[in-house]
Amino acid sequence: MTAVLTRRSEQRLSEPAPGDEEFIYLLNGAAAAPDHGRLRPWRWILLRGADREPLAARLAQEAAQEATAEEREQIARKALRAPLKALLVFSPVTGPKVPEWEQLAATSSMAYGLMLLLHVRGYGSIWRTGRLCESTAAAELLGLRPGERLLGSLDIGTPDRSSGPPVRRERDDVADRVSCFTA
């Protein structure tokens, strides 16, 4: 309960971020999320350091028609703001009798589990979508296969704790969101 109520989307992230081995260790735990058929309809692409720059350049270049030079620079900076940019690719599996929506739900559950595990480990993260998810240039650069789509990025690093530890979230009363059926 503490992890769930203290996890926050962290805007300012710096080094260190988990290394590949630690990321995979945490992902192994997150992959225990409900997944009908154990299809694992997802994959991650990790970008660190200078490896983030081609993505930043592609996103900025793709916006050239609609954005000013200053806006394109801001778009590029956004792709570089976390030490680890973990891109989540949804790869629905065709054939089994598991509908795509259920595979997407499994993927989302796994991603949230990973965010909780990162938080417990002392890392911060924030889920990012927007332009990145709609970018054909990014999809091409990252080698997305037919039928795959980029769901977003999990920006990961060490959170700025200059303002103190995370504040425990107030639990909302959600009783009005529950009903009990009786026949």
Considering the segment(s) 13-49+82-158 as one domain, its CATH architecture is 3-Layer(aba) Sandwich (3.40)
Q: In the predicted model, is pLDDT for residue 96 greater than 90?
A: no
- pTM value is 0.92
pLDDT of residue 162: 85
| 50-81 residue pLDDT tens | 999 999 999 999 998 899 999 999 999 999 99
* Domain ranges across the chain: 13-49+82-158
- Distance (Å, rounded) from C-alpha 41 to C-alpha 95? 12
